[in-house]
């Protein structure tokens, strides 16, 4: 695991929380950022009476100011350990996933949020699971255990188990994967995660996206281990690139219908660029 970096993120929507933190919540009260005015009869807090709003009401109603409370949230990383995540091209894809998790573990606990981790292939991997915690030591320790794993699963269906394990309370979820799954599984996964604010971090490798025009390439099926020699030529390169672009369009459509558009991480990730994309409105 490389040195840990800090990234910024902004959850979408409002979250319910019992702990004060850095994010917008659905709770209102007497302190925080001004939100609106409400009738005193609904929110009987004499300390927050808004004199101007009360005097303006032609019917003599009394109004109080309501303030938006700030809350801490639960942030989970869902990490794909199916075999394709073990691909090594321009970079080691799994190492990038581990570095992303370390950055999230550090960043969430730094601002007072809780970090949790679920790793999955065909099923959830219990030894690489961490319930949400504010302990930075525990969070980074879970990432270190994740780094000892080897992507080898023949399926990523465990994402559905991870979605169920999250529970019904809304969370910010980072789905870290190359998402080289059947379209039916992608749909099921986003449907299962619909209660949450899901940010797909899709890992891609420049070797996959820009194959050479000419030359021999040895391809290996990550799941079966079968190897095949392929003679690259311009026409085949063009079809390869078109297929990759079609895959991205399909993923963007399925993801955007249910939440955020996917964020593509090509080779290694730049924490500043990723922060900009995670905090964009």
pLDDT in tens, 225-253: 566 666 777 887 788 788 888 888 889 88
Average pLDDT over residues 186-206: 94
Query: pLDDT digit string (tens) for 108-164?
Result: 999 889 999 999 999 999 999 999 999 999 999 999 999 999 998 888 999 999 999
- Smallest CA-to-CA distance from 198 within 175, 182, 214, 219 is with 175
| 261 C-beta neighbours (distance < 10 Å), count | 13
* Residue 130 pLDDT: 96
Q: List Cα–Cα distances, 43 to 24, 31, 187, 215, in angstroms.
A: 20, 14, 43, 73
Average pLDDT over residues 188-192: 95
| 189 C-beta neighbours (distance < 10 Å), count | 26
Task: Give the residue carrying structure tokens 């879970």.
Answer: 142
* Residue 211 pLDDT: 74
Kindly compute the dihedral angle of the four CA atoms of residues 17, 21, 27, 31, in this order, to the nearest 10 degrees.
Answer: 150
Half-sphere exposure of 12 (CA within 13 A, CB side): 17
Query: pTM for this one?
Result: 0.80
Question: Looking at domain 74-279, what is its CATH homologous superfamily?
Answer: von Willebrand factor, type A domain (3.40.50.410)
Range(s) of the chain covered by CATH 3.40.50.410: 74-279
If DSSP codes are grouped into helix, strand and coil, which group holds residue 203?
strand
- Smallest CA-to-CA distance from 254 within 168, 177, 189 is with 189
pLDDT-derived band at 75 (thresholds 50, 70, 90) equals: very high
């Amino acid at each position: 695991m490389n040195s840990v970096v800090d990234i910024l993120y902004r959850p979408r929507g409002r979250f319910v929380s019992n702990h004060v933190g850095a994010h917008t919540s659905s709770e209102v009260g007497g302190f925080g950022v001004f939100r609106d005015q409400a009738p005193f009869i609904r929110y009987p807090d004499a300390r927050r009476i808004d004199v101007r709003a009360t005097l303006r009401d032609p019917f003599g109603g009394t109004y109080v100011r309501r303030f938006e409370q700030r809350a801490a949230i639960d942030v989970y990383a869902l990490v794909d350990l199916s075999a394709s995540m073990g691909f090594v091209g321009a970079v080691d894809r799994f190492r990038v996933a581990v570095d992303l998790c370390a950055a999230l573990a550090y960043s969430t606990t730094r601002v007072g949020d809780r970090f949790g981790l679920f790793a999955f292939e065909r099923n959830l991997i219990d030894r690489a699971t961490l319930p949400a915690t504010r302990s930075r030591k525990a969070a980074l320790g879970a990432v270190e255990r994740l780094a000892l794993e080897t992507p080898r699963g023949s399926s990523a269906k465990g994402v559905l188990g991870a979605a169920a394990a999250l529970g019904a309370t809304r969370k910010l979820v980072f789905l870290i994967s190359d998402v080289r799954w059947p379209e039916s599984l992608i749909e099921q996964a986003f449907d299962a995660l619909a209660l949450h604010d899901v940010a797909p971090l899709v890992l891609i490798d420049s070797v996959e996206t820009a194959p050479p025009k000419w030359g021999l390439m040895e391809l290996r099926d990550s799941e079966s281990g079968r190897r095949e020699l392929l003679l690259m030529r311009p026409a085949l390169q063009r079809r390869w690139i078109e297929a990759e672009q079609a895959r991205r369009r399909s993923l963007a459509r399925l993801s955007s219908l249910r939440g955020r558009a996917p964020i593509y991480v090509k080779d290694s990730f730049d924490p500043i660029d990723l922060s900009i994309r995670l905090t964009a409105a």
